[in-house]
Amino acid sequence: MRILCVIPSRINSTRLPRKPLLPIQGKPMIQWTYENASRCKVLTDLIVATDSHEIADVITRIGGKTMMTDPDLPTGSERVAAVAEQHPDMDVIINLQGDEPFIKPSMLEKLISPYLAGETPEMTTLAFQLDRKVKYHEPGAVKVITDLQQNAIYFSRSPIPYYRTQEQAPVYHHMGLYAFRRDFLMLYKDLPQTPLEKVESLEQLRVIEHGYKIRVCLTDEKTLEINTPEEYEQAQRFEYAN
């Protein structure tokens, strides 16, 4: 099986300007993401998709591969699809966001574990147990609930489900990490945006609204995504473990 990992990385960020180039413990965020992903042995190839020559220069200097993409592409997955179009020999395409500097190779392996086991889901994503005491009401922590086959029912920035009774139901903290069957990614990129996707600002809802499935792969490991100034400060003290 041939697996391409694409790291979409754009220079503009509303909350953290020039986020991919911000230094974390001595090197740019995008370099952290690329180097940690490159340690995953099951990847066939690894490419940074970017609209910035500055970002491309960082990756080129460390011997990595890049591809320039249209800055007007609306989502990371569409930037990933632009790269995948140039690689028809790949079976599975991973979308690894550039603001995951502490990603672990084992997480990427968990993400694609259904494909490695011979299954062919349209798409997979990663999640871990939600800390309901801290993250349940936080819009920045995207929640996901699943059916009994671990396919996503819904993703939301709101608290889901609503616990009206004392019964317990699993809810997970979603990580913005995806893998696609290549043929499905080529279909996905042409699907029109959907109402829930727009109101929640969550591109994965487009898949569910159009009637396709996303397999949720669960991990016990956690990383630190960098979306806010507070998380960026935490990153300076984060102890990365392989």
pLDDT single digits (tens) 130-161? 998 989 999 989 999 999 999 999 999 999 99
Angle between helices 53-61 and 29-38 (to 10 degrees): 50
**Pairing between strand 215-218 and 92-96?**
unpaired
Give the per-residue pLDDT at 12: 81
- C-alpha of 193 from chain center: 18
Domain residues for 89?
3-235
Over the stretch 64-106, which tens digit does the pLDDT of each residue have?
Answer: 999 999 988 878 888 999 999 999 999 999 999 998 999 999 9
> Residue 128's pLDDT band (boundaries 50, 70, 90)?
very high
Radius of gyration from C-alpha coordinates of the chain? 17
Whether residue 145 is contained in a domain is answered as yes
> Residue 242's pLDDT band (boundaries 50, 70, 90)?
low
pTM above 0.75, yes or no: yes
Whether residue 123 is contained in a domain is answered as yes
Whether residue 242 is contained in a domain is answered as no
**Which CATH number belongs to the domain containing residue 44 in this structure?**
3.90.550.10
Percent of the chain with pLDDT over 70: 99
Over the stretch 166-200, which tens digit does the pLDDT of each residue have?
Answer: 998 999 999 989 999 999 999 999 999 999 999 99
- C-alpha of 61 from chain center: 24
Rounded Cα–Cα distance for residues 192 and 166 (Å):
40
Rounded Cα–Cα distance for residues 103 and 22 (Å):
17
Whether residue 240 is contained in a domain is answered as no
Whether residue 241 is contained in a domain is answered as no
Q: What's the rounded mean pLDDT across residues 3-7?
A: 98
Identify whether the C-beta of residue 50 lies closer than 8 Å to the C-beta of residue 66: yes
Whether residue 128 is contained in a domain is answered as yes
List of residues 6+ apart from 118 with CB closer than 8 A: none
Whether residue 210 is contained in a domain is answered as yes
> Residue 13's pLDDT band (boundaries 50, 70, 90)?
confident
Q: Evaluate the omega torsion of the peptide bond into residue 229 and state whether it is cis, within 30 degrees of 0.
A: no
Domains contained in the chain, number: 1
